[in-house]
Amino acid sequence: MVLLRPFTLLALVGLGLSSSVVSTAQAVDRPPLYYRDPTGAPQWSATPKKDASGRDYVPVYDEDDTSSQSPKPKAAAADPTRKILYYRNPMGLPDTSPVPKKDPMGMNYIPVYEGDDTDDGTIKLSPGKIQRAGVKSELVQRRPVLVSVKAPGVIQLDERRVSVIAMRSESFVRKVEDVTTGTRVKAGQPLMEIYSAAIAAASADYLSTIASKTTAGNETFGRGSRQRLINLNVPEAAIAALEQTRIAPVTVQWTAPRDGVVLERSAIEGMRANVGDVLFRIADVSAVWAVVDVAERDLGSIAVGQAVRIRARAFANRIFAGVVKVIYPQVSRETRAVRVRIELDNPDLALLPDMYVDAEIDIADPGPVLTVPNSTILDTGTRQVVLVDKGDGRFEPRAVKLGRRGDGMTEITEGLQDGEAVVTSANFLIDAESNLRAALSGFAEAAKSAATDGRSDAGARP
């Protein structure tokens, strides 16, 4: 290597050589600070580099102010008491510089001090950055997780609480009481009067057997005639009146067999009713069913006896309590859902058949488990991570395994211990800071390695 002394440089200038030649001669005597784009574009490099056209980047030295019209950028808010490792791009791009520098928008590169990057896997933030980011931490605690399966459904009648009034003999409707579809009736309330030749004949036969029983003194005598009236579905009250008055009535008064609502009325005064015709259909709606569709994926969590909360869409602020009674043994091919029957008390008759409802079936274990808020979890899809607050501005990313979720909380089955503090707010900002530092560190290591290789190649040339 040829070293040019000051008088040699003066001699070169005196010979009329250009300043660029002098600058090149000076370059041999000291290393450059960085390299800039040969076209003057706002692009820099920490190592020798070529542009898209194959031209070499121009080296910039400590006193080289003639190659740039703007002064050399200075680091913003540098701490003179700490050692600066490098400068990183203020916009978070993977670009570093060993010297102060500006980005294309004129913003100063940010200094990275020694000690900011740790090798123990933790992330260290300054108190000011923690305050500005709004970082909040919370202790891991044991508490019950309220987990429920939600399913839509409809209200249906309890099949065991439905009664029909059908004729078992050819009859004629003589009179119908003021009872219509939707009317609430009580058990024993009169509904209609029926004339039937078969019932009239059975009544007369029963009266004759009653008289014979009185003469013979046999208590079992005449039971066949009474059973015939029962088989004709004659109401018990009509049979009792026959036994008391000993008079065969022309018509028989039919009464409601239970408390309920008239769902169907087919009886019309003067009509003829054939055998099997249904004249009234009455249902007790003081207790109903909620039949809901549970998704196939949730079927394994459902069991008979689990408590259920029902919300009817007609009563948004009211909750009806029920219990799972039956899980139907069939999966719908179209919806991939299983029907589940829930029995509900309906004392004020607010729930009506075919009303839409939403069910929440409690499937949680009531015992306390280790939990964190849902906002604590950083989920990448294949890996779940939480940030553990180690104190003094240090945060440790830690992989965890999750359990059940519910009521804004998530169960932690592995990775945390009771009493540890985890970040619940601004954890995405800390995670971004960690990823940025990892990228910048890798970029800086690659740049140093390239510079070392370049110097080795230069020293190896003859």
Tens digit of each residue's pLDDT (9 = 90 or more) over 167-176: 999 999 999 9
Question: What does the pLDDT average to over 429-450?
Answer: 56
Higher pLDDT, 214 or 81: 81
Top-ranked range on mean pLDDT: pick from 20-24, 86-90, 203-207, 424-428: 203-207
Q: Give the model's confidence band at 449: pLDDT under 50 very low, under 70 low, under 90 confident, else very high.
A: low
Domains 128-144+367-423 and 148-158+285-362 share a fold: no
**Between 3.30.1360.10, 3.40.190.10, 2.40.50.100, 3.40.50.300, what CATH number should domain 168-276 receive?**
2.40.50.100
pLDDT at residue 405, rounded to an integer: 80
Q: Per DSSP, which regions of 315-460 are E strands? A: 320-331, 337-345, 356-362, 369-373, 378-379, 384-391, 394-399, 401-406, 409-414, 421-425
Higher pLDDT, 358 or 54: 358
Question: What does the pLDDT average to over 226-255?
Answer: 89
DSSP 50: B
Answer yes or no: is pLDDT of 230 > 50: yes
pLDDT at residue 19, rounded to an integer: 42
Question: What does the pLDDT average to over 138-146?
Answer: 84
Question: What does the pLDDT average to over 59-73?
Answer: 53
- β-partners of residue 40 are none
Answer yes or no: is pLDDT of 336 > 80: yes
**Rounded distance, CA 234 to CA 250, Å?**
13
pLDDT at residue 296, rounded to an integer: 93
0.85 surpassed by pTM? no
Question: What does the pLDDT average to over 382-404?
Answer: 83
Residue 139's CB: how many other CB atoms inside 10 A?
A: 11
Tens digit of each residue's pLDDT (9 = 90 or more) over 320-332: 999 999 999 999 9
- β-partners of residue 193 are 175, 253
**Rounded distance, CA 146 to CA 367, Å?**
10
CATH number at 148-158+285-362? 2.40.30.170
Q: Please, what is the Cα angle at 403 between 399 and 408, to 5 degrees? A: 95
pLDDT at residue 39, rounded to an integer: 77
What percent of the chain has pLDDT above 90? 32
- β-partners of residue 370 are 142
pLDDT at residue 277, rounded to an integer: 92
Q: Give the model's confidence band at 179: pLDDT under 50 very low, under 70 low, under 90 confident, else very high.
A: very high
Q: Give the model's confidence band at 38: pLDDT under 50 very low, under 70 low, under 90 confident, else very high.
A: confident
Question: What does the pLDDT average to over 120-143?
Answer: 76
Higher pLDDT, 349 or 44: 349
Q: Are 363 and 151 in contact (CB under 8 A)?
A: no
pLDDT at residue 63, rounded to an integer: 52
Pairing of strands 369-373, 320-331: unpaired
pLDDT at residue 258, rounded to an integer: 92
Question: What does the pLDDT average to over 101-130?
Answer: 71
Question: What does the pLDDT average to over 267-284?
Answer: 94
Question: What does the pLDDT average to over 14-19?
Answer: 42
**Rounded distance, CA 34 to CA 224, Å?**
119
**Rounded distance, CA 100 to CA 61, Å?**
13
Answer yes or no: is pLDDT of 127 > 80: no
**128-144+367-423 carries CATH number 2.40.420.20:** yes
Q: Which range, of 74-78, 151-155, 272-276, averages the lowest pLDDT? A: 74-78
pLDDT at residue 207, rounded to an integer: 87
What ranges do the domains of the chain cover? 1-30, 32-72, 128-144+367-423, 148-158+285-362, 168-276
Average confidence score pLDDT of the chain = 79
Hey, what's the torsion of the CAs at 35, 36, 37, 40, to 10 degrees? Answer: -160
Higher pLDDT, 247 or 217: 247
pLDDT at residue 256, rounded to an integer: 93
Q: Give the model's confidence band at 450: pLDDT under 50 very low, under 70 low, under 90 confident, else very high.
A: low
Phi, psi dihedral angles at 100 (to 5 degrees) = -55, 145
Q: Which range, of 154-158, 238-242, 305-309, 364-368, averages the lowest pLDDT? A: 364-368
pLDDT at residue 137, rounded to an integer: 85
